[in-house]
Amino acid sequence: MGRFAVHVHQLISTHRTGGELHPPLLTRLRDAAKPGNDGGKAGSSDSGKPIPIDATAIDLFCKIETRARKEWLHLRGFVYVGKLENLLWDLISPPFTELPEDWDLYLYDLATSWIDEILGLLNPTKPRRKLHSPCPACGVKYHGERRTPALTLNCWDENEDMVHPSKWDAACSACGAEWHGDEVQWLSRTLIAV
């Protein structure tokens, strides 16, 4: 079984993570979009009333389905007609059990990003704080096409409570420099001095 097959299992089947059984991630994503399941957190209609569904969950599901169908067409040479879960299952089932190694790695990376996005939507965490100061290691202040601050700081635990500064971490997306614990205090003093 290839690495991609392991991710397909998480996406379409009940699976065990950390000793607990979890429903398929695509089922959880579909459920998140339904009314009454924290729907409406994605925005409101023109009338100002909440949208009764989670448009972000629907958008993510559609993005995954569109990409999966595109990759199926590239790999198999014909359009797949059927549910997304069946498409993913058919990619790892006979007669297509053995994906070429390059395709297995490519689809594994793609499925990894899908799983990360689904889990990020289902279990949101507080975002890292953006520091609008130049990185002391490389001097870059804003990075990437979207010109986001290169320096970010994480000061939250898994329960979204602020942790003691000795447990904070900072990172630069431009050069990859990282600061942990007491190093963050040094970083703070350096940024104030700039």
The size of the chain, in residues, is: 194
pLDDT at residue 37, rounded to an integer: 61
pLDDT at residue 94, rounded to an integer: 76
Is the distance from CB of 150 to CB of 139 less than 8 angstroms?
no
pLDDT at residue 49, rounded to an integer: 59
Beta-carbon contacts of residue 125 (< 8 Å; ≥ 6 apart): 156, 158, 160
pLDDT at residue 51, rounded to an integer: 57
Of the candidates 124, 179, 120, the one whose C-alpha atom is nearest the C-alpha of residue 151 is: 179
pLDDT in tens, 26-47: 999 999 988 766 543 444 444 5
pLDDT in tens, 102-118: 988 999 999 999 998 99
Beta-carbon contacts of residue 52 (< 8 Å; ≥ 6 apart): 35, 39, 40
Provide the sign of the torsion angle of the four alpha carbons 82, 86, 92, 96, taken in this order.
Answer: negative
pTM exceeds cut of 0.75: no
pLDDT at residue 44, rounded to an integer: 41
H helices of 34-82, in order, are 55-76
Residues of the chain under the 70 pLDDT cut? 1, 36-52, 95-97, 194
pLDDT at residue 128, rounded to an integer: 86
> What CA–CA distance (Å, rounded) separates 193 from 187?
10
